[in-house]
Amino acid sequence: MPRIGAALLSGLTLAAVTSVTGASSPAAALQIAPQLATGGPSGPEERARADIYDSLQKLPRETPVSLVAQAVGPSVVYVETEMVRPVRTIFGLQNETRNGSGSGVVIHPSGLIITNYHVVENAREIRVSFEGNPESYPAERISFVREEDLALLKIQLPDQDEGSRPLRRRARGGLRAASDRAGADRSDGGNPDAGMTDAKGPTLFPTVRMGTSADLMPGERVVAIGSPHGQTYTVSTGIISGLHRDVSVPGRDLNFRGLIQTDASINFGNSGGPLLNIHGELIGINTVMNASAENIGFAIPVDRVRQVLEDVLFPNARRTWLGFDVTEDASGLVVSKVWPMGPAEGTGLCEGDRVVALDRTAVPDAESYLLQSLQVDVGRPVDIQFARGGETFTAPIAGWDELNGFFFRDVGLTVKEILLNQNRQPFLQVEAVLPGSPADELGVLEGDLLQAARPRTRQRYPAIALSDKATLKTILDGVPAGTEIEIDAYRDMNGDLRFSNNELLKGVLVR
């Protein structure tokens, strides 16, 4: 299939608005309009024309496109970015601030937004705003997939600041039946689903309805909403011109496959906005246009967007690990593993239990569970509701940060970042070790300081200082399972809280 070169939509472009000299003023138009309505000839032809006007007045002005705009418009956001890049000047290398803009659409009431990655790439500040609302909100890019040109944003509200929360090893309070809890602190007649909401939090944002791109038809009417050339909340309409288009983007090493082609206007600033069917359902994310032709634009199919969300964007955005794994079957979410010593160990949750709700929000499937888990803050106890043998139970659970969850699952330890001595040298201090894990086999103990690491596949390179969790995560991510990693660690053998070279230990961790 031939490939189509396309220009990527990015950056802020301001459309200059000019006035036409010599045009009739609005006041003059208002003076003439009544004469057109009441004056002039009154012969049979004019009476017939008047009858036509009367008939036209009875026709509804509302169209399917305008209904789509009314339904979906409140969930479309205008994305503004500020980015800094180094530029060479006569005074040397200096930072240049640039502004950009694009579009996005809300997919979850808590303020999760899907947009194009190129809209927010290298942005140090992101703000989003809604049509008709003078307030703009700061947003954070919480995950992205550059190769798919997709990014997930989260609107940041003042009451959502997480701050610094301690690691909790397990929840307190143990197992209790939901029916017992209902009698104590609820008046819902014992209904385990009472009080559940689709989202939790003081501010809920309007969302778009997700459609499917599996049954799209060439010639089908579509609607695009976005902010072309900085003109916020612009609606355009057209048809699906073609399906399964492969598009290459020169200069950015992007090669899209299976895009939707449409003649609905997709211009600079429409990037990241929704492409909708006539039912107001999301069928694609507008991403590129053919700059050398008119009315040739492309959108990422929503089924592909959904797959990237579930496989990459949601998992990578999750900041809290709850200590258990789930699988989905015909009955819903089933617990496939509860990690010993993990956050869920003290809850009574067992393998085979069916998860009903998380933080008082129903989670009937894997997608809703992933979305809800994004709302759980590290260390904040939330209720997990699960069913077993016809009975429903509720227990509190306080999650760890996702990085410690990764370390625990991968090599069997958790760590915290600390600064030591007068130089404030950073280390990773071991907090817990899982018996029988690779870390336990290495001989790591609680309180040890991890100082450096080097995969044995990189013998020509120096060891990497373990100054933070992200560095350890990068090292583990960069090697396959079974790789041997040399570890340098300090242990306070004499209990003086000082670490010298004779307290430096070396070993090999097998990932």
Residue 333, judged by CB atoms within 10 A of its CB (0-12, 13-18, 19+), counts as buried
183: Cβ–Cβ under 8 A, 6 or more apart, which residues? Answer: 190
Within 312-384, residue ranges assigned H as helices are: 314-317, 366-373
Catalytic residue among 118, 353, 377, 448: 118
Could you confirm whether 118 is annotated as catalytic? yes
β-partners of residue 232 are none
Instruction: Say which of 103, 143, 213, 271 is annotated catalytic.
Output: 271
Is 265 a catalytic site residue?
A: no
Q: Report how far residue 238's alpha carbon sits from residue 295's, in angstroms, rounded to the nearest whole number.
A: 9
Q: Where are the alpha helices (DSSP H) in 255-309?
A: 302-308
E strand residue ranges, 445-497: 449-455, 464-465, 484-490
75 a catalytic residue: no
Copy the structure tokens of residue 378. Answer: 């590290």
Q: What does 296-308 look like in DSSP terms, one character per residue? A: -EEEEEHHHHHHH
Query: What is the C-alpha to C-alpha distance for residues 150 and 243, in angstroms, rounded to an integer?
Result: 20
Q: Of 10, 110, 143, 149, which is the active-site residue?
A: 149
Based on C-alpha coordinates, what's the Rg of the chain? 29
All residues at 6 or more sequence positions from 288 whose CB lies less than 8 Å from its CB, including other chains: 6, 7, 8, 9, 247, 249, 256, 259, 266, 297, 298
For tokens 């086999």, what's the residue? 441
Cα–Cα distances in Å, from 458 out to 35, 157, 342, 461, 510?
A: 87, 44, 32, 6, 15
Burial (CB count within 10 angstroms: exposed 0-12, middle 13-18, buried 19+), residue 321: buried
Residues known to be catalytic: 118, 149, 271
